[in-house]
């Protein structure tokens, strides 16, 4: 079969087609890891580029990410953890007091689409919960989201909690959300700021390159 079609269907956001094409490729004995790295990841790269060129907007990103996830759901159980092709480990979460998670979810999905393994802590996440999650896993990047000027201070509190727990230096902290700025990122001692999901991926790669 023509593996390129899988990527095309991801870009189109056709989850059902992606799922059945992935099954078909597996039946033809294409290795699962190859489907991830040759089809799904490049397709999400393409989605990010279209977003940056203002050809895609949030609705198109949502369905493309869902299509990619439909493919990953089939493939993930078939690849052994260490050969999952993950290029890094990330935690995402919307900070305490803030329940908005659409932007944060998009960042998570785009990170997955770029080959990261992502653990999502959800919304309204207490600083202690971030600390716990960092302690538990092999996290390299902590991505914090806030939609409101009034919940931005919870980002600072989260970073302080990570510092107090002695786990701050082992991770890079990425911040984003509507009211965020590079200045605020610098002020609270985060490592990087990204204005949208697509640039969050670029920034994450940049930060991890620096580890």
CB of 57 vs another protein, minimal distance in Å: 5
Rounded Cα gap, residues 89 and 30, in angstroms: 26
Rounded Cα gap, residues 117 and 111, in angstroms: 8
Q: Which residues of 129-142 are buried (b: 16+ CB within 10 A; e: fewer)?
A: bbbebbeeeebbbb
CB contact at 8 A, 167 and 132: no
Phi-psi region of 189 (alpha: psi -120 to 50; beta: other; left: phi over 0): left
CB of 120 vs another protein, minimal distance in Å: 14
Residue closer to another protein, measured from CB, 19 or 98: 98
CB of 58 vs another protein, minimal distance in Å: 6
> Distance from first CA to last CA of the chain, Å, rounded?
40
Residue closer to another protein, measured from CB, 36 or 152: 152
Residue closer to another protein, measured from CB, 132 or 196: 196
Q: Which residues bind another protein (CB under 8 A)?
A: 13, 54, 57-60, 62-63, 66, 96-100, 102, 105, 124, 148-150, 178-179, 181, 183, 195-196
CB of 55 vs another protein, minimal distance in Å: 9
Residue closer to another protein, measured from CB, 96 or 117: 96
């Amino acid at each position: 079969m023509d593996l390129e079609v899988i990527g095309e269907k991801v870009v189109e956001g056709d989850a059902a087609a992606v799922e059945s094409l992935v099954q078909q490729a597996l039946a033809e004995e294409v290795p699962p890891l190859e489907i991830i790295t040759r089809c799904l990841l490049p397709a999400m790269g393409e989605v990010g580029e279209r977003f940056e060129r203002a050809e895609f907007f949030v609705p198109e990103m949502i369905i493309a990410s869902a299509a990619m996830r439909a493919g990953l759901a089939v493939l993930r159980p078939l690849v052994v953890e260490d050969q999952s092709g993950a290029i890094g480990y990330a935690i995402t979460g919307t900070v305490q007091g803030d329940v908005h998670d659409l932007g944060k979810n998009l960042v998570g999905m785009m990170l997955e689409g770029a080959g990261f393994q992502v653990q999502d802590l959800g919304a309204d996440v207490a600083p202690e919960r971030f600390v716990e999650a960092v302690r538990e896993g092999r996290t390299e990047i902590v991505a914090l989201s806030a939609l409101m000027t009034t919940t931005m201070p919870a980002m600072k509190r989260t970073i302080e909690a990570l510092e107090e727990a002695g786990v701050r230096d082992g991770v890079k902290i990425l911040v984003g959300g509507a009211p965020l700025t590079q200045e605020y990122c610098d002020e609270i001692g985060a490592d990087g700021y990204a204005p949208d999901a697509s640039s969050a991926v670029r920034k994450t790669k940049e930060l991890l390159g620096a580890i």
